[in-house]
Amino acid sequence: MIREVITYPNKLLRTKSEDVTEFNDELHTLLDDMYETMIAENGVGLAAIQIAIPLNVLIINLPNEEEIQDKDDLIEAINPVITHKDGTQVYVEGCLSVPGFNEEVKRAQHIVVEYFNRDGEKQTMEAEDFLAVAWQHEMEHLSGHLFIENLSFMKRKKFEKDWKKKLKQKS
């Protein structure tokens, strides 16, 4: 089922998510719904809190070399923890909770992450470049933060001004 993606400045996005304790049907439905929602919204990643579920669950599905978003490449991560970070990279990010806004963010170039899959099996993944960006972006959601919090003071100020204008036009 496609769920509603909540957007900035919805305060729920500031919730620190909690660990999943049971790897049951409810979790599987959540993961399936997150995938359907992400695809419907043309996203490449989604954290559970973006559909108002404060659990440490995220999905990532980047396009392959042929620019195809293959479900075989889908990463489903439960209770993820980044255990190693190094290097830096700057990448233009966007977010389904901040629709229509893209800006450069500086992040680690290479990470190692530990997490559980939907069956509760422990996984370790090494990621670099765009995949490392996606992991760090989604992990930030789980801690109650958004990528716009990484902007410089001036860029953030401009964003807030433009965003307010945009929200006003919508209402």
Q: Which residues bind Co ion (CB under 5 A)?
A: 95
Q: Smallest distance from the beta carbon of 146 to Co ion, in angstroms?
A: 7
In a 13 Å sphere around the CA of 149, the CA atoms on its Cβ side amount to 11
Distance of CA 120 to the CA centre of its chain: 20
Residues carrying an active site annotation: 138
Q: How far, in Å, CA of 10 to CA of 26, rounded?
A: 25
Q: How far, in Å, CA of 9 to CA of 108, rounded?
A: 26
Q: Smallest distance from the beta carbon of 105 to Co ion, in angstroms?
A: 11
Phi, psi of 112 (to 5 degrees): -125, 135
Q: Smallest distance from the beta carbon of 50 to Co ion, in angstroms?
A: 7
Q: Whose Cβ is closer to Co ion: residue 9's or residue 23's?
A: 9
Q: Which residue has the tokens 């109650």?
A: 144
**Cis status of the peptide bond prior to 99, with omega within 30 of 0:** no
Q: Whose Cβ is closer to Co ion: residue 14's or residue 122's?
A: 14
Q: Whose Cβ is closer to Co ion: residue 20's or residue 148's?
A: 148
Q: Smallest distance from the beta carbon of 97 to Co ion, in angstroms?
A: 5
Q: How far, in Å, CA of 56 to CA of 53, rounded?
A: 9
**Cis status of the peptide bond prior to 9, with omega within 30 of 0:** yes
Q: Whose Cβ is closer to Co ion: residue 20's or residue 93's?
A: 93
Tokens of 86: 């190094």
